[in-house]
Amino acid sequence: MPPYREHESIRILVVGEEPLVCASLVALVSSWDGFQVLGEAAPDEAIKQIRAFEPDVVLLSLAGADDIDSELTSGLSSACGRSQLVVLVGQCHDEFRLHLLRYGVSSVITNTEHPMELRKALEVAYGRKRKQD
């Protein structure tokens, strides 16, 4: 059973540098019952969008470990406040995953996993947010 009530939607903000990937994530997440995509933002606009929309979960798309920007990740984690941060990444080794988790990322998922794994990660992140509220 999902960690949310039937009448609630999990509010998602999609953040990423690749417009095609972001648009695909918006389409995918919007197709799921119980999810509402509030919008999408490039990383340089993300903090402003997080503050404006106050999403339940921020979904950050990164191409790979080389794209990690510690300042961006820590800035997003700080700006998220009560919002949870889920990272979708092209490649992910254990050291990189630990690096992200140290910055307060709720979950790290690779783009080679089944889309339902992403859905599950977003639901778990939302469950964590609800426990904090």
For 33-63, write each residue's pLDDT tens digit. Answer: 999 999 999 988 988 999 899 999 999 998 7
Choosing among 1.10.10.10, 3.40.50.300, 3.20.20.70, 3.40.50.2300, the CATH entry for 10-132 is: 3.40.50.2300
pLDDT of residue 1: 40
Give Cα separations from 103 to 1, 2, 94, 122 (angstroms): 29, 26, 15, 18
CA angle 13, 15, 20 (to 5 degrees): 110
CB distance 60 to 22 below 8 Å: no
- pTM for this structure? 0.86
AA identity, residue 56: D
Question: What distance lies between CA 13 and its chain's CA centroid?
Answer: 7
CA 97 – CA 81 distance, rounded (Å): 21
Closest CA to 11 of 45, 50, 44, 46: 50
